Amino acid sequence: MRQIGIGIAGFGTIGVGVYKHLTGNRRLLCERLGLELTVTKIADLDIDTPRSVTPPRSILCRDWQELIDDPQVQVVVELMGGIKNPYKFVMAAIEKGKIVVTANKALLAEHGKEIFACAAAKRVPIFFEAAAAGGVPIIKALREAFVANHIRSMHGIINGTSNYILTRMTQAGLGFEEALKEAQAAGYAEADPTLDINGWDAAHKAIILASLAYGFWVNAADIHVEGIQNITAADIEFAEKLGYKIKLLAVIKSDESCTENCPVEVRVHPTLVPESHVLASVNGVFNAIAVHGDVVGETLFYGRGAGQDATASAVISDLAEAAVALEIPRPNFGFVPHGLYGKCKPISEVITPYYLRLSVIDRPGVLALISGILSEERIGISSVIQPEAHEEEIVPLVLMLHDASQGQMDRAIGKIAALDCVKRPPQVLRVETFAC
């Protein structure tokens, strides 16, 4: 049986998982592939600390350049983390003609355009299933299963840490800081959770998904990103009273009636999701992506989006594809550009309904003042919640607003925040209606 030599760069949690499951499921993989996936070299700066698996000392090294130079290594797996060194490693591997597997979403979001251009020029495939939603096979679906579809929309819960925090705030009534500490204690959040809670981990994945769906590499500067750090227990409570759950949602969509030269929405932000929609019931660290194609209709992908085993499963699926690609060269190399789309819609032009929470003085005329400002910007009110006075006569005022553009809302919020009766910064969240 032909052996495929694999080099792993980065032997942390995911690298250990890949090695463990490659060796543990060796017979299964051999039977299914008719090839043997053999790890011939592992590079990591720390090769002395004991892990849960013990590779032969002879295959360990500290310098990833040894993977590039080793003629027995046919496929390299980039699991180093960060961007600068992984970029150098991936580009060096492509130049050497070695197939690349990576789980690095930040790397692809920031440098995908040049990486895939180089891969196409050198005719070297790149596989990256684990770079978006972990063990959920969304990349393969977009590249292969939905090849005949214009993707009308994707709505994704694609960051397990933020979803766990919002779930605990909803189910246990915790505040944000308390829920974050619980997530860290459980190992679901890093010591530095910044990229998870500020939305950028999900945004990196959204860039990859949007680029695959619409055939142009999305620039990070062109997308709108908000995190969950300002969500309060009050917002969770009011959303539930109104029939919604709050989720950090990646929204990727094009105009349903348009098939050419359409601007594409790519945004990540806390969103009010109707309780009747399936995404509202996705809890804890799980991910889910609802995809609407013009041919296939509605589909749903659900599973664990991170963790050693889920990510290792996706990496090994890429290794299996890479092994087959060595036998039968692929016609494309990971990303196929096309000219039917080509730009992101500015957030100022994106139109959605809104949730608006204000802290106001409880006195006559306040609602009239606020509704007057909204009316000036042609923003309609669909419902109002105003509990009785508390906390020195300052009360929350919650308004559900009809469709408006970001530009309209920005102008209205600027005027409302300047009113004497408004005592704290307004809380503004989008509502997703899932019209298609």
- Same domain flag for 377 and 242: no
- Same domain flag for 204 and 178: yes
Structural domains counted in the chain: 3
Catalytic residue among 98, 105, 205, 345: 205
Per-residue pLDDT at 260: 67
Provide the CATH number for the domain around residue 168.
3.30.360.10
Mean pLDDT of 280-309: 94
- Same domain flag for 293 and 178: yes
Q: Name the pLDDT band for 391 (thresholds 50, 70, 90).
A: low
Q: Name the pLDDT band for 339 (thresholds 50, 70, 90).
A: confident
Per-residue pLDDT at 390: 60
Residue type, 99: I
- Same domain flag for 290 and 145: yes
Provide the CATH number for the domain around residue 110.
3.40.50.720
- Same domain flag for 171 and 104: no
Helices (H), 303-429: 308-327, 366-376, 406-417
The beta strand positions in 255-385, using DSSP E, are: 263-274, 286-293, 297-304, 343-344, 351-361, 381-385
Selection from 113, 118, 117, 80 nearest residue 96 by Cα: 118
User: Is 291 domain-assigned?
Assistant: yes
User: Is 424 domain-assigned?
Assistant: yes
Residues 90 and 16: their CA atoms lie apart, in Å, by: 20
Mean pLDDT of 58-79: 97
Compute and round to an integer the Cα radius of gyration of the chain.
Answer: 24
- Same domain flag for 249 and 378: no
Provide the CATH number for the domain around residue 389.
3.30.70.260
Q: Global pTM?
A: 0.93
- Same domain flag for 300 and 183: yes
The answer to whether the beta carbons of residues 43 and 7 sit under 8 Å apart is: yes
205 assigned to active site: yes
User: Is 269 domain-assigned?
Assistant: yes
What counts of helices (H) and strands (E) characterise the chain? 14, 17
The pLDDT mean for the chain works out to 94
- Could you report the per-residue pLDDT of 216-230, keeping only the tens digit for each? 999 999 999 999 999
Q: Name the pLDDT band for 338 (thresholds 50, 70, 90).
A: confident
User: Is 340 domain-assigned?
Assistant: no
User: Is 96 domain-assigned?
Assistant: yes
SS (H, E, C) 155-175: EEECCHHHHHHHHHHHHHCCC
- Same domain flag for 427 and 372: yes
Percent of the chain with pLDDT over 70: 97
- Could you report the per-residue pLDDT of 130-153, keeping only the tens digit for each? 999 888 999 999 999 999 999 999
Q: Name the pLDDT band for 167 (thresholds 50, 70, 90).
A: very high
In this structure, are strands 286-293 and 297-304 parallel, antiparallel, or unpaired? antiparallel
Per-residue pLDDT at 165: 97
- Same domain flag for 286 and 396: no
- Same domain flag for 206 and 254: yes
Name 214's Cβ contacts closer than 8 Å, sequence gap at least 6.
151, 254, 264, 340, 341
User: Is 135 domain-assigned?
Assistant: no
Could you say which of 292, 327, 362 is where a domain stops? Answer: 327
The answer to whether the beta carbons of residues 160 and 306 sit under 8 Å apart is: yes
- Same domain flag for 70 and 145: no
Selection from 34, 105, 45, 97 nearest residue 71 by Cα: 97
Per-residue pLDDT at 389: 59
Selection from 140, 176, 171 nearest residue 161 by Cα: 176
Per-residue pLDDT at 411: 96
The token duo for 70 is 């080793």
User: Is 14 domain-assigned?
Assistant: yes
- Same domain flag for 298 and 418: no
Mean pLDDT of 56-77: 97
Residues 247 and 244: their CA atoms lie apart, in Å, by: 9
Residues 377 and 168: their CA atoms lie apart, in Å, by: 37
3-state secondary structure of 241: helix
Q: Name the pLDDT band for 257 (thresholds 50, 70, 90).
A: low
The answer to whether the beta carbons of residues 234 and 246 sit under 8 Å apart is: no
The answer to whether the beta carbons of residues 352 and 431 sit under 8 Å apart is: yes
- Could you report the per-residue pLDDT of 344-377, keeping only the tens digit for each? 999 999 999 999 999 999 888 999 999 999 999 9
Domain span including residue 414: 348-431
User: Is 133 domain-assigned?
Assistant: no
